[in-house]
Amino acid sequence: MKKRITIFTIVLALIVVAAGIFMYTRSQARNQATQENSAAVSQAKTTRQSTKDLSGDHDVLVVYFSRTQGVWNGPLEIGNTARIANFIQEATNADTFEILPQNDYPDDYTQTTRIARDEQNNNARPAIKGDLPDLSGYEYIFIGAPVWWGEYPMIVRTFLDAEANGLSNKTLIPFTTNEGSGLGNTQSQLSSQFPQATVLDGFSVRGPEAANSQADVDSWLKQIGVTQ
Ligand SMILES: Cc1cc2nc3c(=O)[nH]c(=O)nc-3n(C[C@H](O)[C@H](O)[C@H](O)COP(=O)(O)O)c2cc1C
């Protein structure tokens, strides 16, 4: 009888030990699965953040100068370049900053061209109205304007000079509207003034075609990798 009790006790002890080992092994396996899962989640987040689809993010800024008066095909309801800025904003959910002059240009086209010519000859830096934006949070900065005498209007150069530190290591993307000059020397201005920046291929369209160019803007944004 005593021998039977001893055998029973040993068997019971073995069962308890086996059950303990089973439970321990299972909980270890569960822990490992949880760790693998959270690693996968954080990897997915990292991957998503590193894609170039910036829709919904706010690390894109669209800076532009545009006029409705004193324009070749004006007066306009919305400036030609402003239309392109709006299309970029829609596609990338960017913030925008409009460069406004402290002293407005004339409503007359020919007078505007003369003043613009003088500003260019004098390498002027016309004053911008209001405060300039803090660029530190942005990675992609679009800089758009009408082509004036083959290049950015000098008021855009005011912006480029004043924000030189903030622009120097960003991705810069020019866009223009014009009457035939394309990008003029806007893109080369950015490349030469900001050698540390990445300058992507810009977009240009003739002013009267700006309103109908949303599809072209969208496909350009995909082509340069800013949207997918
Ligand atoms: C002062 C001035 C200079 C211009 N110079 C040029 C030029 O050199 N090349 C060109 O193709 N268009 C030139 N244009 C035409 C503008 O680039 C064009 O009308 C543009 O679409 C206007 O855009 P906005 O409405 O955004 O101001 C000039 C216009 C003005 C007012």
DSSP symbols for 94-122: -EEEE--BSSPPPSSHHHHHHHHHHHHHT
CA angle 193, 105, 119 (to 5 degrees): 40
Q: Decide if the complex's ipTM is over 0.95.
A: yes
Q: Whose CA is nearest to atom 22 of ligand 1?
A: 146
112 against 46, higher pLDDT: 112
pLDDT band at 3 (very low <50, low <70, confident <90, very high): low
pLDDT at position 16 over 80: no
pLDDT on residue 34: 36
Rounded average pLDDT over 54-74: 84
| CB contact burial 101-125 (16+ within 10 A = b; e otherwise) | eeeebeeebeebbebbeebbeeeee
Atom of ligand 1 nearest to the CA of 70: 31
Rg (CA), the chain: 31
Torsion of CA 177, 185, 55, 51, to 10 degrees: 150
Specify which residues 198 forms β-bridges with: 171
DSSP class of residue 124 equals -
Atom of ligand 1 nearest to the CA of 180: 11
Rounded average pLDDT over 81-87: 98
pLDDT at position 25 over 60: no
Give the distance (Å) from ligand 1 centre to CA of residue 172.
21
3-state secondary structure of 198: strand
pLDDT on residue 53: 45
Q: Is the CB of 71 under 6 A from ligand 1?
A: yes
**Interatomic CA distance for residues 78 and 221, integer angstroms:** 22
Rounded average pLDDT over 74-89: 96
pLDDT on residue 74: 85
pLDDT on residue 20: 41
Q: Whose CA is nearest to atom 17 of ligand 1?
A: 178
Q: Is the CB of 116 under 6 A from ligand 1?
A: yes
**Interatomic CA distance for residues 104 and 116, integer angstroms:** 12
Specify which residues 144 forms β-bridges with: 64, 175
Structure tokens at 34: 């949880």
Q: 5-14, 73-82, 147-156, 210-219: which has the minimum mean pLDDT?
A: 5-14
Q: Is the CB of 227 under 6 A from ligand 1?
A: no
Q: Which residues contact 185 (CB under 8 A, 6 or more apart)?
A: 150, 151
Rounded average pLDDT over 56-80: 90
**Interatomic CA distance for residues 145 and 79, integer angstroms:** 10
> Probe ligand 1: pick from 115, 148, 176, max atoms within 8 Å of CB?
148
pLDDT band at 17 (very low <50, low <70, confident <90, very high): very low
Give the distance (Å) from ligand 1 centre to CA of residue 178.
5
